[in-house]
Amino acid sequence: MPLLGVLCMGVFFLIFFIFDDSVEFFKKDVKIIFLGIVLLLWLPFSVGFIWTNALNAIKHLAGGTVDVRWQSLMCEIDSNQRLQGLLCSIAATEQAVRKEVSKGVSYCLLANPTAQLYMNYEFYGYYRQEDCAKADYAFVSKSDKKIGTRADHLLIYDSSGQPTDIGRFEITVVDEKLGSFILKRK
Amino acid sequence: MLLIAVALGWPLAGVLFKERSQPEKLALAWLLGAFVITWQLFIFLFWLKAGTFWWFNLIFLAEAIILWLFLKAKINWRDFRAASGAKPGLLDKILLCILALVIMLSFVNACGRGNIGWDSLNIWSIKAKQIYYSGRVIFDSNNPASWQSRAYLQYPWHGSLLYVWGNELNGSYSDAVNNVINWFYYVSIIILVYGFLAIRIDRRGAAAFTLMLASAPIFYFHSFNSYSDLMLGCYAALALIFLWRAWLGSKYAFIGLSMSLVAAYTTKNEGIFALLAASFFLLVFLTRQKKWRQLAWFVGLTGLLLAPWQIFRMVNHLGIANSTAVTAWHWDAIYQFWRTFWLNASFNIFAWVVLAVLAFAAIKIYADKKLLVAWVYVALLFSAFLYVYISTTSYQDAVYDTTISRNLITIFPALVIVTALSWQKISKK
């Protein structure tokens, strides 16, 4: 892009200063030539970018495999790879969870008080503490003080410090980057 | 949602854009209507601590009816052709078709995505979600869903309140509603920029520059993501349009300017740069013209519109900055600006187009006082961001390149306008 920008200026510089005033076309239409060069350089990149974006959205709307590489953190989510999806990023997680929830898979998504982002789930309605007792999966933040374990049982502490045993889980995936792990009901 | 906002803004647009085309009035009606609605929502929810939403809409509709009757608003369809006085050529039509395609693809994106941007998730959408699911603003700071529980308390509420209201009208919370609200802003500013340029340069130039605005990658990306930068960019550019109209002698331009500047300030804190810069130019202009009555109205109206948010800010000891001043100057931030605007592809090659236009038309720009003021307005916005990054802890954001490109979005529509107006002056004579 920068090189194209310099090229753009350079070509116009040539047209603007080298061609003689006696060449009527350049004298009259110098603005249009400028605009033409700019658009020729502009459109291929922008159209490509826009089309790629639109293709992702169309795929998503059509309900097939979703490529959510809209941001650097994103990765490929396949609707069958629920846990892989959960690791991609918060946003990708959300997309994966939505798909799974719509298919009847239930999650216990626990808020992390140190990372406000996890609160998001509470407001999406995916996180309800009472649902955790029967959830198929639990998505837990390591640093969450409300979470504890006893043997292979997962505990949730309420505000008074009383634990609720939500059943036996096994760790399936640990994501060091997000500081979270995913458990599957045994 | 669109209907209520436009119904509320339409009578105002009829007065402020009296001679302009209907699409431009529609676009302006949305921008002003959305602001009028969130301005009132802020009072209802934060000052009156109201808890239900349905009667808000009755108030908005009643206000719309009163305004229609009082301002004798009418719908009289005139298209762009009538407004610009020229017939579009084949090339103009091709450019406009590409523009329409870009807008449609953006809409597909808006409908097909979650709120996946970091600030969208962590700031603007989640604040809306809290209010939506709580049914009111919660003031008990011990409650994890209280307004104090979120980060960035000092951020204004325009975007989030608009999302709450849109979702209330939708009947259920949907990320797509938030995205589509941004898309409305995107379409509005495209219409306004095209309409503004079409009568001042020509259709072809207007279509080309509007296409560049619409298809600049980062601007396009924000057209379907629920951030607030694009909204701020729309209001900053609208302020420039009203400043220009005030210069040309439009009687009520100061009302539009006042509303768009306060809208900018209540959208993002960075809106204060536009507020200060444009107000300064208008005050100088009105003082030189000795239009004391307009000046008093502008100051009074701006103060009145600013009051709810500004008083709330003071009462709750909310600062305006995200960062604190540092003892050393961070000149490396300048390089980051250069890299972001000129070397990255976020704005395609527009920064180079700006340099080229400035190089070829500088003398003529200097000779045209209106255009010069417009450039100074844009340059002041740019300089304000640059100053913040050089002199505060925000330089870290510059170094990691997390915010500069988004800040530049707020300048971008105004920059496109001044660049297009200057392009018109390129000639060998």
Residue A85: pLDDT over 60: no
Closest CB from B145, B208, B355 relative to A9:
B355
Say what percent of chain A tops pLDDT 90.
0
Task: Spell out the alpha helix ranges (H) of chain A.
Answer: 2-18, 24-28, 30-62, 82-88, 90-102, 119-124
- How does pLDDT run across B129-161, given as a tens digit for each residue? 778 878 889 888 877 677 887 668 899 999 999
Query: Would you state the pLDDT for residue A45?
Result: 84
Residue B274: pLDDT over 60: yes
Provide the shortest C-alpha distance from residue B191 to chain A (in Å). Answer: 19
Q: Considering the entire predicted model, what is its pTM? A: 0.81
Which residues of chain B lie closer than 8 angstroms to A117, CB-CB?
121-122
Residue B61: pLDDT over 60: yes
Name the residue in chain B with its Cα closest to that of A22.
Answer: B428
- DSSP class of residue B346? T
Total domain count for chain B? 1
Q: Is residue B428 part of a domain?
A: no
Q: Is residue A6 part of a domain?
A: yes
Which residues of chain B lie closer than 8 angstroms to A91, CB-CB?
114-117, 121
Q: Contact, A61 vs B111, CB < 8 A? A: yes
The lowest-confidence range among A21-30, A144-153, B316-325 is A21-30
Mean pLDDT of B409-424: 96
Say what percent of chain B tops pLDDT 90.
59
Query: Would you state the pLDDT for residue A84?
Result: 32
How many Cβ pairs within 8 Å bridge chains A and B?
Answer: 147
Q: Which of B24, B23, B21, B26 is nearest to B10 (CA)?
A: B26
Which residues of chain B lie closer than 8 angstroms to A22, CB-CB?
none
Say what percent of chain A tops pLDDT 70.
32
Name the residue in chain A with its Cα closest to that of B125.
Answer: A120
Residue B256: pLDDT over 90: yes
The lowest-confidence range among A20-29, B82-91, B147-156, B394-403 is A20-29
Closest CB from A31, A51, A60 relative to B112:
A60
Give the burial string for B115-136 (b: 16+ CB within 10 Å, else e).
bbbbbbbbbbbbbbbbbbeeee
Q: Is residue B315 part of a domain?
A: yes
The lowest-confidence range among A135-139, A164-168, B358-362, B415-419 is A135-139
Give the burial string for B339-352 (b: 16+ CB within 10 Å, else e).
ebbbebbbbbbbbb
Q: Which of B20, B220, B200, B18 is nearest to B102 (CA)?
A: B220
Interface-testing mutation among B353, B405, B421, B422, with chain A (most A C-beta atoms within 10 A):
B353
Total domain count for chain A? 2
Strands A153-157 and A76-77: unpaired
AA letter at B363: I
Name the residue in chain B with its Cα closest to that of A96.
Answer: B114
- How does pLDDT run across B22-34, given as a tens digit for each residue? 899 999 999 999 9
C-alpha triplet A171, A137, A139: angle, nearest 5°: 70
Query: Would you state the pLDDT for residue B192?
Result: 97
Average pLDDT of every residue of chain A:
60
Name the residue in chain B with its Cα closest to that of A117.
Answer: B122
- Which of A44, A62, A80 is the C-terminal boundary of a domain? A62
Q: Is residue A138 part of a domain?
A: yes
- Which of A28, A45, A62 is the C-terminal boundary of a domain? A62
Q: Is residue A68 part of a domain?
A: no
Closest CB from B111, B343, B360 relative to A16:
B360
- Which of A62, A77, A92 is the C-terminal boundary of a domain? A62
Mean pLDDT of B276-300: 94
Burial class of residue A113, CB neighbours in 10 A (0-12, 13-18, 19+): middle
Q: Is residue A80 part of a domain?
A: no
Bridge-partner residues for A67, per DSSP?
A76
The lowest-confidence range among A67-71, B356-360, B407-411 is A67-71
Mean pLDDT of B320-326: 72
- Reported as a pLDDT band with limits 50, 70 and 90, residue B253 is very high
Residue B354: pLDDT over 50: yes
Higher-confidence residue: B114 or B409? Answer: B409
Q: Would the CB atoms of B105 and A50 count as touching at under 8 Å?
A: yes
Residues A57 and A111 in one domain: no
- Reported as a pLDDT band with limits 50, 70 and 90, residue B172 is confident
Closest CB from B220, B349, B359 relative to A41:
B349
Higher-confidence residue: A7 or B235? Answer: B235
Q: Is residue A67 part of a domain?
A: no
Provide the shortest C-alpha distance from residue B145 to chain A (in Å). Answer: 9
Q: Is residue A167 part of a domain?
A: yes
The domain containing residue A43 runs over which residues? 2-62
Residues A128 and A58 in one domain: no
Q: Would the CB atoms of B349 and A43 count as touching at under 8 Å?
A: no
Name the residue in chain B with its Cα closest to that of A52.
Answer: B105
Query: Is A19 part of the contact surface with chain B (CB cutoff 8 Å)?
Result: no
ipTM of the complex: 0.83
Residue B218: pLDDT over 70: yes
Residues A45 and A115 in one domain: no
Q: Is residue A147 part of a domain?
A: yes
State how far the Cα of B230 lies from the Cα of B222, in Å rounded to an integer. Answer: 6
Query: Is A21 part of the contact surface with chain B (CB cutoff 8 Å)?
Result: yes
Name the residue in chain A with its Cα closest to that of B356.
Answer: A9
Q: Is residue B429 part of a domain?
A: no
The domain containing residue B350 runs over which residues? 2-423
